[in-house]
Amino acid sequence: MLIDLCELSPSYVRSIAPYQPGKPISELAREMGLDEAGIVKLASNENPRGIGPRTRAAIEASIAGIARYPDGNGFELKQAISRRYGVDMASVVLGNGSNDVLELVALAFLGPGRAAVFSQHCFAVYPLATQARGARSIAVSAKNYGHDLDAMARAIDDETYVAWIANPNNPTGTFARAEEVEAFLRKVPERVLVVLDEAYNEYLPHELKADSARWLKRHPNLVITRTFSKAYGLAGLRVGYALAHPSVADVMNRVRQPFNVNSMALAAAVAALDDMEFVARSYAENLQGLRQLEEGARKLGLDFIPSYGNFITIRVGKAAEIYKRLLRRSVIVRPVGGGYALPEHLRVTVGTAQENEKFLGALSASLKD
């Protein structure tokens, strides 16, 4: 072969650094000859509670229909979501995880000659989705590890069509209050879609939860994204959604795959959305776990970024090395150097009390190695 096939893709695609997911348990077990059962994975912000019995029953019942294509319009789930948030069904876009709806925004609204603004230390998918469309990235320095919304508003130029904001943010766990987000929405030109990624919304205390769906009426350029991967415990099934103005939702729906959400995920999400008790327990247990990890970090003399999510980002020093030492102790966490630009920190998902304990013990030992 005389040509490098890679060269056939546009240069902006070739220069994409691949997304680094949390290391799967099976991979670590294979690589280090460890027993899978003894491995604790606190690397992908999943729900350690798993799923509730009603969701499990819905998944099992959905097996009967597995030979058929799913409902490409996701009627039942859209109906449940629209009732929950008081929005039109035409305002709901379903995705294969919320990652998919983020990609749909990029696909529908970004391209060469356009730009998107995001914060330093933001969720890795924002720069990735922006770059994959050949659009320009405008990265704005963080303030106290979180979004500097004033600076982000100032950074918007004539080519900017999308502003990506995660609230709470991953991997820093920082949170912008409702007033700050609303002030940002008032400031940005109507042309700029503000993607408010609320993947961790369910982990916020009641008094901090904004009724962001209400903002859609006043701000037709707002796109809210949510997921069933975190508090609802369905990360493996892949289902998330966006709430947006019907015209925005319409274009996003035009560029999605016709059957982007599978039938099991649709059935599970309908049941999970209804199981408020499961989510309430997940919230309460997460809070306890967060306190346990904060307390443990303090005892080890380590700083951490106060978190509003189901994870905490701890400053451990030589994070890449500590990460490896933790792996040897059968604990998987997430290094956040590289694209996240936090080379001294490790992001740790809140696990069960036992998992958190195991992590803290392994961390204590790893700091002394």
Ligand X SMILES: Cc1ncc(COP(=O)(O)O)c(C=O)c1O
- Decide whether 128 or 325 has the Cβ nearer to ligand X: 128
- Decide whether 213 or 336 has the Cβ nearer to ligand X: 336
Among 47, 170, 260, 356, the residue binding ligand X under the rule CB under 6 A is 170
- Residue 45, interface with ligand X (CB under 6 A)? yes
Among 22, 52, 70, 240, the residue binding ligand X under the rule CB under 6 A is 240
Is the alpha carbon torsion for 357, 363, 366, 368 positive or negative? negative
Dihedral angle, C-alpha 86, 88, 89, 94, nearest 10 °? -70
Helix (H) / strand (E) element for 331: namely strand 331-332
Convert 166-195 to b/e letters by CB count within 10 Å (16 or more is b). Answer: bbbbbbbbbbbeeeebbebbeebeeebbbb
* From 57-65, 94-102, 149-157, 336-344, span contacting ligand X (CB under 6 A): 94-102
Shortest distance (Å) from residue 196 CB to ligand X: 11
- Decide whether 123 or 215 has the Cβ nearer to ligand X: 123
Tell whether omega for the bond before 168 is within 30 degrees of 0, i.e. cis: yes
Helix (H, G, I), strand (E, B) or coil at 365: helix
Show the site string, 299-338: x = touches ligand X by CB under 6 A, - = not: ----------------------------------------
- Residue 47, interface with ligand X (CB under 6 A)? no
- Residues that contact ligand X, how many (by CB under 6 A): 13
- Decide whether 249 or 325 has the Cβ nearer to ligand X: 249
* Residue indicated by tokens 């490896």: 324
User: Residue of minimal CB distance from ligand X?
Assistant: 97
Identify the DSSP state of 207. G
Q: Write out the binding residues for ligand X, residues 95-134 only, by CB under 6 A.
A: 97-99, 123
- Residue 229, interface with ligand X (CB under 6 A)? yes
Beta strands in 143-253 (DSSP E): 160-166, 193-197, 222-227, 240-244
**Token pair of 37, please?**
């059962």
Residue 177's nearest CA partner among 216, 156, 204 is 204
No. of helices (H) and no. of strands (E), the chain: 14, 13
- Decide whether 55 or 170 has the Cβ nearer to ligand X: 170
- Decide whether 47 or 366 has the Cβ nearer to ligand X: 47
* From 6-14, 138-146, 227-235, 357-365, span contacting ligand X (CB under 6 A): 227-235
Among 117, 156, 197, 336, the residue binding ligand X under the rule CB under 6 A is 197
- Rule CB under 6 A: which residues touch ligand X? 45, 97-99, 123, 166, 170, 197, 199, 227, 229, 235, 240
